[in-house]
Amino acid sequence: MLTRSGRPRRLALAVVLVCTAIAASESVRTTAQTTPVRPKITGVAGFAVKVSDLTAARAFYSGILGLDEAFTIKSPVGGPDLTTFKINDRQYVYLAPGLSGDESRLLYVGYETDDARALRTYLASRGVAVPDAVTPDPQGNLSLIVKDPEGNDVQFIQYMPGSLHTRNTGRFLSDRRLSKEALHVGYRIHDAARMDTFYQDILGFRLMWKGGNTDNDFRWISMLVPDGTEWLEYMVDTGTPSPRTLGIWNHLAFGTLDQQAVARAVLARGYRGQAQPKIGRDGRWLMDLYDPDLTRVEFMIRKPVETPCCSPLHDVVD
């Protein structure tokens, strides 16, 4: 029975409020338990390009750069098998024969993840088209290929025990390598904001630096992987680049601590192009080489020696 003081009514209201709060808390906890979480993406794993002459490409990547040819793999995007050149136990250059005409040389770029299956689930939850399942690939790793917003093929790979790659740990690591790490991959894009919806908003890549030929021309945008120190470089170009220009945009960058030594080594090994170190707009020493099909291979000293133009440089490590 209610009294004039209304205490039973207030007590009933309090009970309702407590129950509502408990239900809301349980709902939040359930949602947190069921919402997929992005696994780690730790670094650059692969750079795959088409070549017109595998013998000539081998002379560049092995003879000039000093990378050991390791093994062949089945292409994850179809087509002929890929010849593998090993940078280190977690990073590889893949060459696909059969390039013809003025088509893009870039086949795909790859990043390492610690859980490919969880990444597939996470990407699907964010509206990205993914394979129906992640099963061991022909090499024994777990990997998946997805399309970025501009239709480029992007691989995420989890190296598995017993796979072709892990069975060869410590092998095919030439003492002639001019670098033991790929710092970044880069490729031509049209719309940086659109690409950010995938790389930044969904995958968690972080802005490191942006710049261009002038201080307000942001055509080179460096995006760090979320859980490492390597990066993707957007090369913003809305025109119709020539094969040579496209080869400049679509590139692989190696780390070094001595650009002059690299320049001397490539010339001594018979490189016929220019090998001229210079300080880039981001304040770092760099040098550009080109494979026989005009794909650019950059050498870079990670730490700047001058103040970068255009924007601050974030998260730089020695």
Instruction: Express each pLDDT in 262-273 by its tens digit.
Output: 999 999 999 999
CA atoms within 13 A on the CB side of 108: 23
For all residues of the chain together, what is the average pLDDT?
91
What is the distance between the alpha carbons of residues 220 and 249, in angstroms, rounded to a whole number?
9
Q: Which ranges constitute the DSSP H helices of 60-177?
A: 116-125, 164-167
Indicate the DSSP class of residue 201: T
Tokens 């022909």 belong to which residue?
Answer: 138
pLDDT in tens, 104-161: 999 999 999 999 999 999 999 999 999 999 999 999 999 999 999 999 999 999 999 9
Report, as an integer, the average pLDDT of 189-210: 97
Please state, for a pLDDT cut of 90, what percent of the chain lies above it: 85
What's the pLDDT score for residue 2?
41
Domain ranges in the chain? 41-300
Q: Is 124 exposed, middle or buried (0-12, 13-18, 19+ CB in 10 A)?
A: middle
Residue 311 in this model has a pLDDT that exceeds 70: yes
Indicate the DSSP class of residue 185: E
Radius of gyration of the chain from its Cα atoms, rounded to whole angstroms: 25
What is the distance between the alpha carbons of residues 117 and 5, in angstroms, rounded to a whole number?
61
What's the pLDDT score for residue 133?
97
Indicate the DSSP class of residue 270: T
Q: Alpha carbon of 237 to those of 177, 192, 212, 213, 288: distances in Å?
A: 32, 10, 11, 13, 19
End-to-end CA distance of the chain: 76
What is the distance between the alpha carbons of residues 94 and 84, in angstroms, rounded to a whole number?
5
Q: Using 50, 70 and 90 to split pLDDT, how confident is the model at 34?
A: confident
Instruction: Provide the b/e sequence for 133-166 (b: ≥16 CB within 10 Å).
Output: ebeebebebbbbbbebbeebbbbbbbbbeebbbe
Neighbours of 86 (CB within 10 A): 21
Indicate the DSSP class of residue 257: S
Give the residue with greater pLDDT, 296 vs 20. 296
CB 285 within 8 A of CB 303: no
Task: Return the structure tokens found at 253.
Answer: 């960058």
Of 3.10.20.30, 2.130.10.10, 3.90.1150.10, 3.10.180.10, which CATH number belongs to 41-300?
3.10.180.10
Q: Using 50, 70 and 90 to split pLDDT, how confident is the model at 65?
A: very high
Q: Is 33 exposed, middle or buried (0-12, 13-18, 19+ CB in 10 A)?
A: exposed
pLDDT in tens, 164-184: 999 999 999 999 999 999 999
Q: Kindly report whether the global pTM for this prediction surpasses the value 0.75.
A: yes
Residue 293 in this model has a pLDDT that exceeds 80: yes
Bridge pairing between strands 285-290 and 278-279: antiparallel
What is the distance between the alpha carbons of residues 243 and 83, in angstroms, rounded to a whole number?
22
Side chain identity at residue 151, one-letter code: G
Note the Cα 78 to chain centre separation in Å.
Answer: 20
CB 124 within 8 A of CB 117: no
What is the distance between the alpha carbons of residues 235 and 218, in angstroms, rounded to a whole number?
9
pLDDT in tens, 226-279: 999 999 999 999 999 998 899 999 999 999 999 999 999 999 999 999 999 999
